[in-house]
Amino acid sequence: MDSISSIENKPTFKGFVSDFKQLTKIGLSLSVVFSAIAGYLLAVDIIEARIIIKLAVGGYLMVGASNAFNQVIEKDTDALMKRTMNRPLPTGRMTVRTALTIAVLFTIIGIGILYSINAKSALFGAICIFLYVSAYTPLKSVTPLAVFVGALPGAIPFMLGWVAATNQFGIEAGFLFLIQFFWQFPHFWAIGWLQFEEYKKAGFNMLPMNTKDKGAVKQIIFYTIIMILVSVLPVLKVTGEFYIYPVTAVIIALIGSSMLFYGVKLYKTESNVEARKLMLSSVLYITLVQIIYVVDKFLH
């Protein structure tokens, strides 16, 4: 029996790949790459495949490093929550040394690749990793303001694409940053609502004032409205070279209104069902908005 169980517990390449994907949060990393490429496409007239590849690989490594460092730091708290207890580090399937090696290598190679595009891209990549690991991660157990701090590195990817294309940080890049910055509040507070009890076990403060009530939903609704207004602002041609057609602004406002709809329903019901719908609609919103911006740009 012992020999059978030892064979079952023996590490496999397939198992390592699965753990590697969990450590670097491949789904999240790919969504970040998507945002960065969208930002790049918004800025260029001539698309260079070489830059897109570098941006994709560098962006993935940057986010993968942040997630790996995060999971090393939160190994013990991850073990307390159902959502995270099966990650490679709390289960012991991967050692802290292996995870740290991956994180450090990803940081060095990722920033190096971004530097080969231009120095500003590397700088923002480094800032992203630093803020996520050194500010957001430790603050989660201290203050609800951690979500605000986490929104700073979380808003960099969309902007990073523009900087990679132009080597400039101007009003356009700053504006792309703002869109993704304000979007994160309703998105992460919806997750914070769904995972409130689990986060409480780990001592994390992921809702405004750390309370699951109508007051938290008021903040969600407020930031959703700000997000929609910021997203349609380019129609006024106040955002430098980046602007959109009026019909595009109307489409974006309509998509944003679905998030607002679920926010209002959550205020009325305070139910996890509506919080989940809000969270899913927020993912759809940021994805569609980036695609719509790019399509609009190439119609100019």
> What sign does the dihedral 110-115-121-124 (CA atoms) show?
positive
Please give the DSSP secondary-structure letter assigned to residue 224: H
Cα distances (Å, whole numbers) of residue 21 to 28, 30, 67, 128: 10, 11, 10, 20
pLDDT for 54-70, tens place per residue? 999 999 999 999 999 99
- In this structure, the answer to whether residues 16 and 152 fall within a common structural domain is yes
Which pLDDT score, from 0 to 100, does residue 205 have?
85
Burial 251-272 (b: 16+ CB within 10 A, else e): bbeebbebbbebbbbbeeeeee
- In this structure, the answer to whether residues 139 and 119 fall within a common structural domain is yes
pLDDT for 211-237, tens place per residue? 899 999 999 999 999 999 999 999 999
- In this structure, the answer to whether residues 156 and 182 fall within a common structural domain is no
**2: in domain:** no
Give the SS3 label for residue 169. Answer: coil
Which pLDDT score, from 0 to 100, does residue 13 have?
83
Please give the DSSP secondary-structure letter assigned to residue 212: -
In which domain, by residue range, is 76 found? 9-169
Region at 92 (left for phi over 0; alpha for psi -120 to 50; beta for the rest): left
- In this structure, the answer to whether residues 69 and 160 fall within a common structural domain is yes
Contact, 88 vs 19, CB < 8 A? yes
**288: in domain:** yes
R_g over Cα of the chain: 20
Alpha-carbon span 177 to 187, nearest angstrom? 16
Regions of the chain where pLDDT drops below 70: 1-11
Domain boundary among the residues 169, 191, 222 is at 169
- In this structure, the answer to whether residues 17 and 158 fall within a common structural domain is yes
**70: in domain:** yes
**114: in domain:** yes
Give the SS3 label for residue 61. Answer: helix
**4: in domain:** no
Contact, 224 vs 186, CB < 8 A? yes
Which pLDDT score, from 0 to 100, does residue 9 have?
53
Domain boundary among the residues 169, 200, 233 is at 169
Closest by Cα among 269, 289, 272, 264 to 190: 272
**270: in domain:** yes
Residue with tokens 């910021």: 230
- In this structure, the answer to whether residues 145 and 294 fall within a common structural domain is no
Which pLDDT score, from 0 to 100, does residue 250 have?
97
Q: How many domains is the chain built from?
A: 2
- In this structure, the answer to whether residues 71 and 209 fall within a common structural domain is no
- In this structure, the answer to whether residues 133 and 191 fall within a common structural domain is no
- In this structure, the answer to whether residues 148 and 224 fall within a common structural domain is no
Alpha-carbon span 94 to 71, nearest angstrom? 11
Contact, 159 vs 96, CB < 8 A? no
Q: 245: which 2 tokens?
A: 């057609």
- How far is the first Cα of the chain from the last one, in angstroms, to the nearest whole number? 69
Q: How many CB atoms lie within 10 A of CB 38?
A: 23
Residue with tokens 């050194």: 134
- In this structure, the answer to whether residues 164 and 183 fall within a common structural domain is no
- In this structure, the answer to whether residues 161 and 178 fall within a common structural domain is no
Which pLDDT score, from 0 to 100, does residue 10 have?
61
Give the SS3 label for residue 36. Answer: helix
